[in-house]
Chains A and B, each alone.
Chain A
Amino acid sequence: MAEHSTASSNEYQANLETFYYDNGIVKLFAMATVVWGIAAFLYGVYVAFAIFMPQLNFGSEFLTFGRIRPIHTNAAIFAFVGNGIFMGVYYSLQRLCKTRMFSDMLGKLHFWGWQLIIASAAITFHAGITTGKEYAELEWPIDILIAIVWIIFGLNMFMTILKRRERHLYVAIWFYIASWVTITVLHVVNSMELPYTWLHSYSVYAGVQDALVQWWYGHNAVAFFLTTPYLGLMYYFLPKAANRPVYSYKLSIIHFWSLLFIYIWAGPHHLLYTSLPDWAQSLGTVFSIMLIAPSWGGMLNGLLTLRGAWDKVREDPILKFMVVAVTAYGMATLEGPMLAVKSINALSHYTDWTIAHVHVGVLGWNGFLTFGVLYWLIPKLWNTKLYSKKLANAHFWIGTLGILTYVIPMYIAGVTQGLMWKQFTPEGVLQYPNFLETVTQILPMYMIRATGGTIYLVGACLMVYNLVKTAKQGSFVKNEKDQATPFPFQYIKETGERQHRWLERKPMAMLFVATIVIAIGGAVEIIPMILIKSNVPTIASVKPYTPLELYGRDMYIREGCYTCHSQMVRPFRSETERYREYSKVGEFVYDHPFQWGSKRTGPDLHREGGKYNNSWHYWHMNNPRDISPGSIMPAFPWLLTKEMDIQSVSAKIAAMMTLGVPYPVGYDKVAPQDLKTQAKLIATQLVAEGVTDVKESAEIIALIAYLQRLGTDIKAK
């Protein structure tokens, strides 16, 4: 008996291999996470103030709200959380696979490529170079760069998995694999755009189809960028930090597959009551509600991992951060499906309720989990103890206070404004017909929110100090030693082995099955819309934009007007009273990209055409407060002086023709002339209305032309 055991342990020793984990790459991503995290919060605080103090852009086009908000959202998602994902993956994957990453070189390429993407995003957004599709605003050259870097990451990840010494793939790794696959698909499908200059392009989809693809993307970007990779991190780092195994492995299997399966179907819930077909809306709602089950399964699995360790939670700031993160995940995933219920959505949509919802997710779930992981990881990487547990605890409380101070006023603002929009007097007319009244009402909430954001930022700065001090007192372990026996190449199938275990051993099969699963969901949603052209009834009176209007439309996208204005009147009496005729699918067939928007900080603009005369818009754009006292819309004075780039017009029209917009053959050649003719007409009208110093070639002319065209195609009946 004794002899036998020595023999086998000798054999075991003989096979034992020594190898080193690469901590260098983890350190790089950790530092990027911290740096971009602070940047994302700073931009957030800045827009939070700028929204009620429009003069904060100092009259500079580069700082205008519509351009800064996308920087904030993209920085939070792709720079902060993105680097957070990579930090966690590069650390945990090596340990779970008992091997060093496949290639240090690929890791470096991945890292610097990703930072390059972030830097170019910041520059192009400030410059107003954007596709105008939320969370996919980056222009085509950067989209290509993203694809390349993403593939480098994928390659490094899969090769690492293939050379692993641990036969079985832990649940965290499935989440990584599924996230990678899905993001690849989403990015490719939603970024289909036709370039017309080296920095500009039009979405190949138009109107309702573009909206559907965009929100299928937008929803799943939340799911597969902000959620599933972070669930992978949760399944690794929470057990690590608590030093106890995950509560139920079985539950994690259900969590994984049902999330993967359901998430992708639920995208249309962003478009309830819009011109999207009913069946797609209903499907979105049903699947959104079903999402609660796996999400809560996951949350409970996380929380129950700490069963019997709650005394530890009270002590340890890392666990505290993680507990709140997981709870925020549960809250957000309960609220999300609720917001997908049509009657609730009717109230919540376009209001700050949505903003509150996403910040529970990003500040609570992503932010706090990242903080927890950082506090755990940095001492490990530098082989020391956390510099100050007290400071970390302070950060925890400050951060929590920040979240509450942010989220609560936003809920109040959202519900208040939503109700005001819908409020009728007993006589049956809108009680607040002036949109601005519903804005000034909630300004105090905006101020409190900005304070909340600032508090959160202060907490994060404490963390930076604490982490830097921690690193300073330790010494960085660039290569960490470990030992493991490789598993035999030939696998002897155990009796009674079942399907899933087979999947766990075969990463490529896992990749394949995961792809199929999300492809089914995607197909169910997308195919009927894309393939069946007759889905969008054409309206004979809807005509393509004139070159001048198209130019104005591109300015609307450039200045980010869509961040505050929707172009989608829903079929409610409260909306048709306020904005007139509700929007029809057929009105958007030439909109590459669609501009339905998702937030009404200002009123809907779909029926703006003909509402005011040209000079009203002229002065309003110059300074909204001259026309609408108390308005919080930023001023756009540069539009009055900036010259139109008439050279680009032919290329714009030609691109539209390629996309199937029915301009007459050869129209791209005459378009610049047509543009000038129409501009002259508008300039003459402006002069007649008493505006002096009008330049025929000023960009404002194009924007006015576009605003005056909006929604007029079917009004003239």
Chain B
Amino acid sequence: MFKDILKSVNGYDNWSIISMLIFFLFFVGLIIYVWKLDKNFSNYMSSLPLENEENSK
């Protein structure tokens, strides 16, 4: 029975492969971006919730 369903979804196997691919590319992009993130900036951001003397810039 499942075979029938599968056949009726056009290219169902591509569907899952494509979704994995989309995810993979997204993730790699994300890692590269974070890798290159400016250190000062991330320090600044992480201390945002705390009461800091220096107000927003």
Binding site for B on A (CB under 8 A): 16, 92, 95-96, 98, 165-168, 170-172, 235-236, 239-240, 243-246, 248-250, 252-254, 257-258, 261-262, 265, 277-279, 282-283, 286-287, 290, 483-485, 487, 496, 498-501, 504, 520, 524, 528, 532, 534-537, 584-585
For chain B residues 1-41, which have a beta carbon within 8 Å of chain A? 1-2, 4-6, 8-10, 12-13, 15-16, 19-20, 22-23, 26-27, 30-31, 33-34, 36-38, 41
Q: Is the interface of A mostly helix, strand, loop or mixed?
A: helix
Contact A498–B33 (Cβ < 8 Å): yes
B43 cross-chain contacts in A, Cβ below 8 A? 245, 249
- Whether A245 lies near B33 (C-beta < 8 A) is no
Nearest CB to that of A250 among chain B residues?
Answer: B34
Contact status B30-A165, CB under 8 Å:
no
- Assess whether B16 is in contact with A257, with CB atoms less than 8 Å apart: no
Nearest first, the 8 closest Cβ-Cβ pairs linking A and B are A166-B56, A249-B46, A249-B42, A245-B46, A170-B48, A534-B8, A245-B47, A524-B19
Contacts of A536 in B (CB 8 A): 5
* Contact A243-B41, Cβ < 8 Å, known A258-B27, A484-B55: no
| B48 proximity list for chain A (CB < 8 A) | 96, 166, 168, 170
Please state if B9 and A528 are interface contacts (CB–CB under 8 Å).
yes
Given A253-B34, A277-B2, A498-B33, residue A262 in contact with residue B55 (CB < 8 A)? no
Whether A246 pairs with B46 at a CB distance below 8 angstroms is: yes
Sample (6) of A-B pairs whose CB atoms are under 8 Å apart: A248-B42, A248-B46, A258-B27, A498-B36, A524-B15, A536-B5
Q: Report which of B22, B30, B38 forms a contact with A257, defined as CB distance below 8 A.
A: B30
Given contacts A168-B48, A499-B33, 4 further A-B contacts (CB under 8 A): A171-B45, A254-B30, A277-B2, A498-B36
In the bound complex, do residue A277 and residue B5 qualify as a contact, i.e. CB atoms below 8 Å apart? yes
Tally chain B residues at the interface, Cβ within 8 Å: 38
- CB-CB < 8 A to B4: which residues of A? 537
Given A96-B49, A168-B48, A170-B45, A537-B16 contact (CB < 8 Å): no
CA distance A585 to B48 in the complex (A): 52
Q: Knowing A249-B42, A253-B34, A537-B1, say if A277 contacts B9 (CB, 8 Å).
A: yes
Docked pose: A236 CA to B20 CA in angstroms:
32
Q: Determine if A528 and B12 form an interchain contact, defined as CB atoms under 8 angstroms apart.
A: yes
Complex-state Cα separation, A310 to B33, whole angstroms: 32
Q: Which residues of A contact B1 (CB under 8 A)?
A: 537, 584-585
> Which residue of A has the minimal Cβ distance to B2?
A278
- Kindly provide the distance from the CB of A571 to the nearest chain B CB, expressed in whole angstroms: 9
Q: Closest residue to A252 on the B side, CB-wise?
A: B46
Total of A-B residue pairs, C-beta within 8 Å:
125
Closest B residue to A283 by CB, please name it: B16
Contact A279 B50 (CB under 8 A): no
Q: Are A165's CB and B56's CB within 8 A?
A: yes
Residues on A with beta carbons closer than 8 Å to the beta carbon of B30? 253-254, 257-258
CB of B33 within 8 A of CB of A92, answer: no
Given contacts A520-B22, A537-B4, contact A282 B42 (CB under 8 A): no
Is the pair B9, A500 in contact by a Cβ cutoff of 8 Å?
no
Closest to A486 in B: B56
- When distances are taken between beta carbons in the complex, the residues of chain B under 8 Å from A532 are 8-10
In the complex, what residue of chain A is closest to B42 when comparing beta carbons?
A249
Query: Among A165, A167, A239, A261, which residue has its beta carbon within 8 angstroms of that of B23?
Result: A261
B37's nearest neighbour on chain A, judged by CB, is A250
CB pair B34 A279 closer than 8 Å: no
CB A478 to nearest CB in B, in angstroms, measures 20
Compute how far the CA of A614 lies from the CA of B10 in the bound complex, rounded to whole angstroms.
46
- Assess the B57–A170 pair: CB atoms within 8 A: no
A584 to B33, alpha carbons, bound, how many Å? Answer: 47
Chain B residue nearest to A168 in the complex (CB): B45
CA distance A261 to B22 in the complex (A): 10
**Could you say which residues of chain A place their CB within 8 Å of the CB of B42?**
248-250
Instruction: Select the residue from B8, B42, B46 with max chain A CB neighbours within 10 A.
Output: B46
Measured CA separation A420–B9 after assembly (Å):
37
Q: B49 contacts which chain A residues (CB < 8 A)?
A: 92, 95-96, 170, 172, 235-236, 239-240, 245-246
Are B55's CB and A585's CB within 8 A?
A: no
B56 & A286 in contact (Cβ 8 Å cutoff): no
Please determine whether B57 and A167 come into contact, CB atoms closer than 8 angstroms: yes
Which of A167, A243, A279 meets B13, CB within 8 Å?
A279
Residue of B nearest to A92 (CB): B49
**Interfacial chain A residues near B41, Cβ < 8 Å:** 501
B16 touches A282 (CB 8 A): yes
Q: Which residues of A contact B47 (CB under 8 A)?
A: 245
Query: Judging by beta carbons under 8 Å apart, are A254 and B6 in contact?
Result: no
Cα of A290 to Cα of B44 in the assembled complex, Å: 30
CB distance from A574 to the nearest CB of B (A): 20
When distances are taken between beta carbons in the complex, the residues of chain B under 8 Å from A258 are 27, 30
B46 partner residues in chain A, CB cutoff 8 A: 239, 245-246, 248-249, 252
Q: How far apart sit A652 and B55, CA to CA, in the bound complex (Å)?
A: 62
Does B27 contact A537, Cβ atoms closer than 8 Å? no
Contacts of A278 in B (CB 8 A): 2, 5-6
The answer to whether B19 and A265 touch across the interface, beta carbons within 8 angstroms, is yes
A96 to B10, CA, bound (A): 48
Q: Which residues of B contact A248 (CB under 8 A)?
A: 42, 46
Knowing A262-B23, A283-B16, say if A239 contacts B34 (CB, 8 Å). Answer: no
Closest to A532 in B: B9
Establish whether residues B50 and A286, one from each chain, have CB atoms under 8 Å apart when the complex forms: no
